[in-house]
Amino acid sequence: MSRVGKNAIKIPAGTEVKVASDAITVKGKGGTLSRAAHRMVEVKVNGSEVTVAPVGNTRLAKALWGTYAAHVRNMISGVNTPFVKKLQIEGIGYKAEVQGKNLKLALGFSHPVLVAIPEGVATKVEKNIVTIEGADKERVGQFAASVRALKKPEPYKGKGIRYEGEVVREKAGKKAASASA
């Protein structure tokens, strides 16, 4: 039995949830999010609550029950307050700037790296901090992960792109050879 799925999801004031046979749509002050509905999960709106229940007793239905409950909860949360990920760029000469619908990164390569900013995601750069925010938790997280993957923090000097607050364990470099050999 899903602990996440069996709890009803409260709908805050100013948020509208619609369930059709093929899609779940959530509308709020932060925008509109939509997700395809699965036939093994039943989503119902009861006044100011949303309930999610499995259809049948199959293993797939039980697995999707909690997953879809979490998706609906994230959609409702995202249209009310946007999800935010912050990336910290460390390294001499490493910098970032937003150019139109692209994020331009100088990461020590021979050329600047251009990354297209996805629809529904806002990106700001202040000093060496890239702030990514949007209503869709998956898009924000995936974009942040794809930017971080361009230059992961290396363990010797700590240069690269990391999540704000992420701790990178640094390794000791080479030891100087002793002269007594």
Residue 145's SS3 state is helix
Whether residue 151 lies inside any domain: the answer is: yes
Shared domain check, 97 and 75: no
d(C-alpha 40, C-alpha 31), whole Å? 27
pTM (global) more than 0.85: yes
CATH number, position 20: 3.90.930.12
| β strands within the chain, DSSP E | 9-10, 16-19, 23-28, 31-36, 41-46, 49-54, 83-90, 95-99, 102-106, 113-116, 121-126, 129-134, 160-163
Identity at 97, one-letter amino acid code? E
Domain count, the chain: 2
Shared domain check, 68 and 94: no
d(C-alpha 22, C-alpha 169), whole Å? 46
Shared domain check, 143 and 87: yes
Checking if the pLDDT of 31 tops 70, the result is yes
Checking if the pLDDT of 18 tops 60, the result is yes
Average pLDDT, the chain: 91
Shared domain check, 98 and 75: no
* pLDDT digits 0-9 by tens, 109-145: 999 999 999 999 999 999 999 999 999 999 999 999 9
d(C-alpha 115, C-alpha 103), whole Å? 5
Shared domain check, 38 and 109: no
**Domain ranges, residue 112:** 83-163
